[in-house]
Structure 1
Amino acid sequence: LGGLLNVEALEQACNDLRARHEALRTSFTQDADGEPQQRVNPQQFQPLACLELDEGASRQRAQALTCQAFDLLAEPALRLELHRLDTRQHRLVIVLHHILADGWSIGLIIEDLATAYAARCQGQAAQWPALTVQY
């Protein structure tokens, strides 16, 4: 992300995204028979992890985050982390388990995040049309 970044607005936008898309709030458990169950959790504010890293350390950290296996019974299937490379350069690392998104839906997620960020930079919440389906 090049240019000045409003980190507070980005954090709010990430939470707006979770509120909009149930899949980003879904956790997985097992019932008494060991059968998998999914549960859509209520929206709760999640702070955005922010680290100050140089380019090389950021790339290594992003690679480590993408290679770290998800324990779907113990953690969300979405990881977000912001790396501040300098005052005008940031990297937003978005790691989604494939159970949540595919190549098509990730584009929708990025588009919604950009919309939410633009709105939050103006001090407003994003105004989206209602979703006809949850993926």
Structure 2
Amino acid sequence: MTRPRIRVAAYVVRRRDITELLVFDHVDAPEAGTQIPAGGVRPGEDLEHAVLREIAEETGLATAVPVRQIAVEDSPHPGTGQPRRTTFFLLRAPADTLDAWSHRVRGDDEDAGLVFACRFVPIPLPQPLADGQDAWLDRL
């Protein structure tokens, strides 16, 4: 049996008058859909460190504070069918975080160099997230 790829995903919320979720779209690949920060865990890396790293790499946001783990989901990759185990985390962003910004992905992963359009959207979301990433929002 193939071991699952270990991943993390981040529900980064900002609270003002309403609760909002940090999402992003691929500027050059809108067909990828709206997503939350997520990605693979490096060998020996702590899950909480991995989720903070993914948020920083994919959005540039370095001020999110972990609150708690929300869920662990086993599901196949939508394109390859390979097994994945994703741990979803709830994190808080400061209320004065920008409403929207553009970010070029850093790091050495496959997303490096891509440009993501990041923004906060109200919960409940106006549309579903790509790859069923909104499955655990009711646990916030």
TM-score when normalising by structure 1: 0.29
Larger Rg: 1
